[in-house]
């Protein structure tokens, strides 16, 4: 809590991650990169010159996204061997997560290659101090030799 207008400096292992000015009272920083996790050092520099220091533990919970935000990843290419020679079929993959409301997220993704395709979708719930809970379904299809195998929904 800031006792007056203050500068908040958030760092990790000596590296400054974020600096922000806050008004008097409780404050919340919600725009840190999702890759930031672990112990964060917080320094609150008050207008009168006094300084408060404390640590906050944070973690990124897969598939959970802040309300109204969308996260996604896309990739495509061909695998390579240890000598960086392209070796294998073309593939593409992607995933997304949408923060529906405070604590709820919808997510999904897919993977597709010459002989394999998989799609998944699910929902996640932040249970605060108890952790998180999620449920998802995946549908996959593989072409093996002269036959096509289709998987069932799994969760």
* Domain ranges within the chain, ordered by starting residue: 6-58, 70-150
CA distance 63 to 61: 6
b/e burial code for range 94-120 (CB count within 10 A of at least 16 → b)? ebbbbbeeeeebbbbbbbbbeeeebeb
Give me the pLDDT at residue 116, please: 92
Which CATH fold topology does 6-58 show?
A: Immunoglobulin-like (2.60.40)
Give me the pLDDT at residue 84, please: 86
Of 138, 144, 155, 131, nearest in space to 64 by CA: 131
Give me the pLDDT at residue 30, please: 78
Q: Which positions of the chain have pLDDT values less than 50?
A: none
Predicted model pTM: 0.61
Give me the pLDDT at residue 28, please: 84
């Amino acid at each position: 809590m800031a006792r007056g207008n203050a500068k908040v400096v958030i760092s990790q292992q000596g590296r400054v991650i974020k600096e922000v000015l806050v008004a008097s009272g409780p404050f919340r920083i919600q725009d840190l990169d999702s890759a930031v996790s672990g112990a964060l050092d917080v320094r609150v520099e008050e207008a009168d010159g006094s300084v408060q220091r404390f640590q906050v533990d944070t973690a990124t919970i897969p598939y959970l996204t802040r309300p109204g935000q969308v996260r996604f990843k896309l990739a495509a290419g061909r695998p390579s061997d240890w000598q960086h020679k392209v070796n294998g079929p073309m593939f593409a993959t992607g995933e997304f997560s949408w923060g529906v409301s405070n604590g709820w997220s919808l997510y999904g993704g897919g993977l597709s290659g010459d002989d394999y395709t998989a799609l998944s979708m699910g929902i996640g719930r932040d249970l605060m101090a108890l952790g998180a809970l999620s449920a998802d379904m995946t549908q996959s299809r593989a072409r093996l030799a002269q036959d096509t195998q289709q998987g069932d929904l799994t969760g």
